[in-house]
Amino acid sequence: MIKKAITVFAILLVLAMVSGFTHTNPLQGKKSETSISNHSVTNSNGQSEAEQGIARFWEFTGFANVTPGHLIMLIVGLVFIFLAIRFEYEPLLLIPIGVGILIGNIPFLQNAGLKVGIYEDGSVMNYLYFGVKYGIYPPLIFLGIGAMTDFSSLISNPRLMLLGAAAQVGIFATFLGALVLGFHPAEAGAIGIIGGADGPTAIFLSSKLANGINIIGQTAAGDPVYVKNLIGPIAIAAYSYMALVPVIQPPIMNLLTTKRERLIRMKPPRAVSKLEKMLFPIIGLLLTTFIAPSALPLLGMLFFGNILKESGVTKRLAETSRTSLIDIVTILLGITVGASTQADVFLTEQSIMIFILGAISFMIATAGGITFAKVMNIFLSRDNKINPLVGAAGVSAVPDSARVVQTEGLKADPSNHLLMHAMAPNVAGVIGSAVAAGILLSFLL
């Protein structure tokens, strides 16, 4: 008990001494004049070198530099980690991003040459952020996605591809919404892609269109006006909503479908031959990249990964792409995207507007897919009807939205499994959002 009391007293004493020195900032204040007398170094305030050291140490701690913004972002980071662990919402993404938010928002003395901040040239985080800023990580993620995705559900029932196209309405509706809220067209395009519900595509497009580097005009004095750097908010919004797909989508699905529609049983998919599986990535690559060459880094890598998988002769490369490589890139992408939310850069009015627009775009995309499935049903025979719930999977978010469709389908009929059917529009959505990104890029760059 006495030991504890002494320890607490000692800590309080040290804190009291340190706080007494904080009125002098060795870096921001006037340069202290020092004089040497009787083997001790003192400054004009009468502080010894040791006291100056402690004061300097205090200035460098997070406690001295903390702002309400930092605390808000730290709470956001902790919420991300909580959601990932407690509810298992996309834990592979939310844990790295959540920890990244914590790392990026530890307060430190700015401009002190510490080189620790993600936006400081020469810092380790800045080097890792290079991959986000210049759109290097997204194509590598797409390579892994291509190598792990089985497109057979899509090949066996290609008409479901149209649902993946229909859901992209969210991208273009959000683009218009962002323009109305006063964003520059390039920024609006990058924000719109959140509606594609595809993290890597969102990062890729925002790194090209809203990167803080491109010049979008001139001031009256002739100085260049740069586009805003929105990579952080857009990536966080995209990944947050992707993780929250199980929360966002079900109410819209229930609102737009009747109980009878939710009970529709779809024909089981036919078996797909090996030849068809091998032809799919080759034809897909040639066709989509001819239509939108700007999306080549994404679509090229996606179909390349799928060729590695389906060719059957490059098993080692396919295995590396879908395991080690994508894991490494996901770690780096997650941690840097999280760290890019440094409070002073992230906590702005624009970020809040981006989050609002992102939520709306997810809802519009979900509604677009479901509504189109209902429209298709008008023209389809009774035996070939589509369960409209499947349309919700048209918003990429692989495979979470397909999983939500399966769950909602089972709620209506516990023996009606929609997962395989939902995977078709789900992967078509990935292709559709990448094509949309290419189109936006060629219009707005």
Partner 1 sequence: MIAKMTFDFSAIDEFAVTLAIVGYVTVFAALVLLFYIYSLIPKIIDISVRQKLRRRGKHKIAEKENLSMVGEENAAIAMALHLFFSESHDEESNVLTFKDSMRSYTPWSSRIYNLNEYYRRP
Residues that bind partner 1 (CB under 8 A): 154-156, 158-159, 161-162, 164-166, 168-169, 171-173, 175-176, 179-182, 185, 188, 268-271, 273, 275-276, 279-280, 283-284, 287-288, 291-292, 349, 352-353, 356, 428, 431-432, 435-436, 439-440, 443-444
120 or 150: CB nearest partner 1: 150
Residues 6+ apart with CB under 8 A from 95: 80, 81, 84, 85, 334
Closest CB 170 distance from partner 1, rounded Å: 10
Cβ proximity to partner 1: between 93 and 165 the closer is 165
The nearest distance, CB 242 to partner 1, in angstroms, is: 19
CA distance 298 to 279: 19
Of 16, 350, 45, 67, nearest in space to 183 by CA: 350
Looking at the DSSP bridge assignments, the partners of residue 117 are none
CB closer to partner 1, 195 vs 250:
195
- Tell me the closest approach of the beta carbon of residue 273 to partner 1, in angstroms: 7
Instruction: Give the separation between CA 79 and CA 94, rounded to whole angstroms.
Output: 9
Nearer to partner 1, 115 or 270 (CB): 270
Which tokens hold the place of 407?
């769950």
Q: How far is the CB of 246 from partner 1 (least distance, A)?
A: 26
Helix (H, G, I), strand (E, B) or coil at 190: helix
AA identity, residue 161: M
Classify residue 185 by burial, with Cβ atoms within 10 Å: 0-12, 13-18, 19+: middle
Spatial separation of the C-alpha atoms in residues 234 and 245, rounded to whole Å? 16
Q: How far is the CB of 292 from partner 1 (least distance, A)?
A: 7
| Cβ at position 177, least distance to partner 1 in Å | 9
Rounded to whole angstroms, how far apart are CA atoms 335 and 174?
Answer: 27
Per DSSP, which regions of 106-214 are E strands?
Answer: none
Closest distance to partner 1 from the beta carbon of 288 (Å): 6
Q: C-beta of 139: minimal distance to partner 1 in Å?
A: 19
Tell me whether residue 169 or residue 301 sits nearer to partner 1 (CB atom): 169
- Indicate the angle between helix axes 419-444 and 274-291, nearest 10 degrees: 20
Task: Name the pairing type of β-strands 40-43 and 34-37.
Answer: antiparallel
Cβ distance to partner 1 smaller for residue 233 or 338: 233
Please, are residues 247 and 131 in contact by the beta-carbon 8 Å criterion? Answer: no
Q: 137-148 and 199-209 helices cross at what angle (nearest 10)?
A: 160
**Closest to partner 1 by CB, 374 or 411:** 374
- Between 74 and 437, CB nearer to partner 1: 437
Distances (CA, A) of 125 to 84, 130, 178, 239, 428: 23, 9, 30, 20, 34
Sorted by sequence, the CB contacts under 8 Å of residue 86 that are 6+ apart come out as none
* 3-class secondary-structure state, position 41: strand
CB of 347 to partner 1, least distance (A): 11
Phi-psi region of 222 (alpha: psi -120 to 50; beta: other; left: phi over 0): left
For partner 1, which is the closer residue by CB, 243 or 434? 434
Between 221 and 271, CB nearer to partner 1: 271
CB of 89 to partner 1, least distance (A): 26
